[in-house]
Structure 1
Amino acid sequence: MTGAAAQQPETQRTSSRVFFAGQWCHFAGASMMGVLFPWILAQKLNLGADLVGLGQMLVQVPMLLILFGGATADGQHLPSYLARLQLMLTVPALALAAATASGALTFEIAVLCGVVTSIIGAFVLPARDSLIADVTPPGTAITLMVAAATSAMFAGQMTGFAIAAAASYTGLLPLLFIQIVLLAGSAILTSRVAPHAGPSRADTRAKPRRSIGQLLKDIREGLTIVAAHERLRTLTLLVSLASLANNAAFIVGLPLLVRDVYRGGSLEQAILFVAFMVGTTLSTGYLSRRKPIDQQGRTMMILFLNGAIVFACIHLGPPFWVTALLILSWGLTAGVGMVMSRSMIQAAAPPLVRGRVLSVFQMAQMLGSPIGALLLGLIIHALGILNALLVVPIWIVLLWGGFSLFTPIWRFHRLEEHANPAPAPQPGSGIAALAPPGEERREIG
């Protein structure tokens, strides 16, 4: 083995560590707003449930631009591209800090800063997920890298939530300064990631910048690929419909539960958020260290029901510590479901259009958030928080029954997955050559 060949595995491992460190910084900084934004609306500005739901809806809508984000990510040198986006995230944080310092913070300004953050985030997420494949050493199962990346994400989110828990005691300004430092640090680390050579990125520097028309064509191709592939279509539809209740319960239900039932502030809100992230981090960390699960669809559907159990129990109004434990258990099963769905999507997506396919899947994860946030806010305003949360288990049970009866999701096994499972198509071969392999790719188990 030559000296260069001997150094290559170590270089790849170092690049992966830098990537994970950058992701930790990014999610630590970005997730602080997950506590601060609802705290600003529900606590600092003391708005009603309808306006809290409206505000959360407005900041979720721009994430639907994620399709453009995925189409833009394909063909980019991802480390430098992602680093620029992460640096741009400091701008709305600076604007929010300026409004807070001048005493001009209002519902409109808070929402505007949240909307700008969401617009940038719509381009960050598909680039980040595409980069996971690029830092995965050849021959390494993507399930393991997705689980490790998910663990880094949730560890960062837990850190951000823990820092933001002090909002009721320190005020916004010190926390916004910490957020800006973390986001800038993530940009520096990401810019130093060195992706390994592979068919999905071998010619990225040679590709010209694409027009809006070309981006729209890329988006249509991504939607076509997902719609034509049974596995991609089923998983994308499930996460889209599930997000109507799950995402709304997290971003609207929990903050209002803390305020209206437990009479708490940013600390109690952060405790529930951290409890969820502890659960997801534990489960994804465990999955990253064990042999990949073969019966992925079956595992995902069994654990999906836990969300219904959790919110049916919360509807009864238990003590706060019981609610925190219930949210922890929700996080444990949600983490497994996230890894299962992401790894199945990663394995089935063809490398050259992976960014587009992932952006469709990510958009599906967020598609229900704006509608769900608004509807849940209105339902809470009309029925009260505890009665409104009963909508969540009802919706989950309906989805579980429908997908069990009318889709083959229970039969989805683990694909033989590696970072680059398929060769690049020949130039001019068209969309047919990019169509993802169906279930004919060998399944394990």
Structure 2
Amino acid sequence: MDEDERQLENRGEDRTGQVKSPVSGLDSATTAGASVEFTARSLFTRRTHRRVKSELPAYLMIQCSWFTAFGLQMVLFPYLITNRLGLDGTELGLANMALSGPSVIFLLLGGVIAERASGKSLLMLLHLMAAVPAAILAFVLATGNLAYGYMIIYGVAMGTVGAFMMPARDSIINEVVDRRARVGSDVTLQQGVAFATIAQFAAQICGLIVGGYADKLTRMPDWLGGFSIGPIPSWELLAFQAIIVGLGAGFALFLAHGRRVKTGRSGLGAAFGDIKEGFQVVSADGKLWAMTVLMFGVGIFVIGSFLVVLPIINRDIYGLSSDGIRDMFVTFWLGAFVSSVTLSLFRAIKRQGRLLLTAQLLGSLAILIMLAKPPHYVFLGIVFAWGLAAGVSIAMSRSIVQDAAPKNHLSRVLSIYQLGFMAGAPFGAALMGWLIDFFPDQPQRVAVVPALGMTLLIAWMVIRTPIWNMKHQPA
């Protein structure tokens, strides 16, 4: 640098004679900083989008984990009581009361906890807790100490965990769909519920199929190769149930912590105040109240028949064991799976209430064919039709309640809605068990009771509630 250049620099001028600002590099630094910030924001946004979009698959895997174990339980629980212990309808009905009864006691508290706690942490804890009763019962079976009392203890333990699980799991789908919408996803709430229902039914079918191999050799038909499967000891299946439900805790790691509702209440009476507020919300909304009453009827007439009447018919009319329970339940949930897949193709159904009530009526009337003691393949056809109706009913009822419930009361509303279902189930199981024993030689006669009860309830729903005339308005 020569003497003239040094003099220009000292005067703050460049070679063109223009004066240079002492902060002339600020613009360049700001531009560079903005570029770095933009890049960081883009990376963060992409990472956030990936995390949000991974929530729905993770949620569906949680569904699969729980309901695969639930499918195993649906076969093993009645099989151990009716076939391994050789007990009758009354004992099976009381055992099912032990399984579903805790929900009546704890479900509302479960809804309050689901709103206040982190959904992610709560699901992890509950999945791990659900693995414990199955593992203990597996040990009891493996050591040859199975007794009716152990089945009652198992039922109470699993029913208690399930009471807290249902509102926590079912309310999260609303948040998952909402967060996906914020990052540009076009999945609607109805579709999200349908996807969750599909995962539930598919997982249950898998669990039911595996459970049907308990203590029995099963030969595949010739067109499938003619190979044999089983027998698989019952205790091994219960151990598998414990493992598969425990895996749900790992899938929950991919969920966000979610929203927590603060009601402003504190102290011992806070939970009761929250529950009371939930009941006020449900009773003030005609759709929510009607759906709760409908689910109470379904618990009494449908679930009671499903849990008690069908396993007894399977044993006494068709002379089958765990394989018959498997075929019966797989057929039912296969029907529910087919109807749920069909519903998932529609972004929004305008007349959800009419579809729901029509499906309930057709399913209830279909079981009257059992009065004629049809061949086993006709019996399975009836069960399949019943499953088709159940798939529509479950998906539509969940969509109606999820749409109608205020977001800050969603878990409490869902717990009350499910309470209607769960409160009816133990009474229905006990009633159907008593009726089965009243007709020991013709258990199929009990089909008249659920068919007549549901028909009267649906007629009341059409005449006295807004469900039949409601029109869904998609957001």
TM over 0.5: yes
1:138 counterpart = 2:181: yes
2:95 alignment partner AA: G
* CA distance in 2: counterparts of 1:209 and 1:16, whole angstroms: 32
1:300 counterpart = 2:356: yes
Work out whether residues 30 and 160 of structure 1, in 8 Å CA contact, stay in contact via their aligned partners in 2: yes
**What are the within-5 Å matches in structure 2 for residues 10-89 of structure 1?**
10-64=50-104, 65-89=106-130
Work out whether residues 296 and 423 of structure 2, in 8 Å CA contact, stay in contact via their aligned partners in 1: yes
* CA distance in 2: counterparts of 1:332 and 1:210, whole angstroms: 45
- Which has the higher mean CA deviation after the structures are superposed, 300-309 or 77-86? 300-309
The answer for unaligned runs of 5 or more in structure 1 is 418-445
Q: Deviations over 1:161-215 (max 9, x none)?
A: 11111113223111012111101111111122236x6xxx1x56x9999654211
Query: Among 389, 392, 397, which residue is 2:447 paired with?
Result: 389
Q: CA deviation at 1:382?
A: 0.5
* CA distance in 2: counterparts of 1:304 and 1:90, whole angstroms: 34
Q: CA deviation at 1:267?
A: 0.8
Work out whether residues 298 and 454 of structure 2, in 8 Å CA contact, stay in contact via their aligned partners in 1: yes
The answer for unaligned runs of 5 or more in structure 2 is 1-40, 217-231
2:169 alignment partner AA: R
Q: Deviations over 1:329-366 (max 9, x none)?
A: 11112111111111111011111111000000111111
* CA distance in 2: counterparts of 1:272 and 1:20, whole angstroms: 25
What secondary structure sits across from 1:411 in the alignment? coil
Work out whether residues 347 and 415 of structure 1, in 8 Å CA contact, stay in contact via their aligned partners in 2: no
1:179 alignment partner AA: Q
- Which has the higher mean CA deviation after the structures are superposed, 134-143 or 26-35? 134-143
1:194 counterpart = 2:256: yes
Work out whether residues 344 and 415 of structure 1, in 8 Å CA contact, stay in contact via their aligned partners in 2: no
| Other-structure match for 2:235 | 173
| Other-structure match for 2:225 | none
| Other-structure match for 2:28 | none
* CA distance in 1: counterparts of 2:473 and 2:75, whole angstroms: 37
1:333 counterpart = 2:376: no
* CA distance in 1: counterparts of 2:307 and 2:156, whole angstroms: 15
Percentage identity across aligned positions? 31
- Which has the higher mean CA deviation after the structures are superposed, 84-93 or 99-108? 99-108
The two structures, once aligned, show a CA RMSD in angstroms of 1.9
1:258 counterpart = 2:310: no
1:92 alignment partner AA: P
Work out whether residues 293 and 420 of structure 2, in 8 Å CA contact, stay in contact via their aligned partners in 1: yes
**TM-score (norm. length: structure 1):** 0.88
Q: Deviations over 1:107-134 (max 9, x none)?
A: 1111111110100110001000111112
| Other-structure match for 1:236 | 292
| Other-structure match for 1:375 | 431
Q: CA deviation at 1:6?
A: 3.8
Work out whether residues 190 and 347 of structure 2, in 8 Å CA contact, stay in contact via their aligned partners in 1: no
Mark the CA change 1:211 to 1:156 in structure 2 (over 3 Å): closer, same or farther: farther
* CA distance in 2: counterparts of 1:191 and 1:320, whole angstroms: 45
Q: CA deviation at 1:296?
A: 0.8
* CA distance in 1: counterparts of 2:374 and 2:426, whole angstroms: 28
1:414 alignment partner AA: H
* CA distance in 1: counterparts of 2:283 and 2:263, whole angstroms: 27
Work out whether residues 67 and 203 of structure 2, in 8 Å CA contact, stay in contact via their aligned partners in 1: yes
| Other-structure match for 2:152 | 111
**What are the within-5 Å matches in structure 2 for residues 142-221 of structure 1?**
142-169=189-216, 170-194=232-256, 201=259, 211-221=267-277
What secondary structure sits across from 2:116 in the alignment? coil
Q: CA deviation at 1:415?
A: 3.6
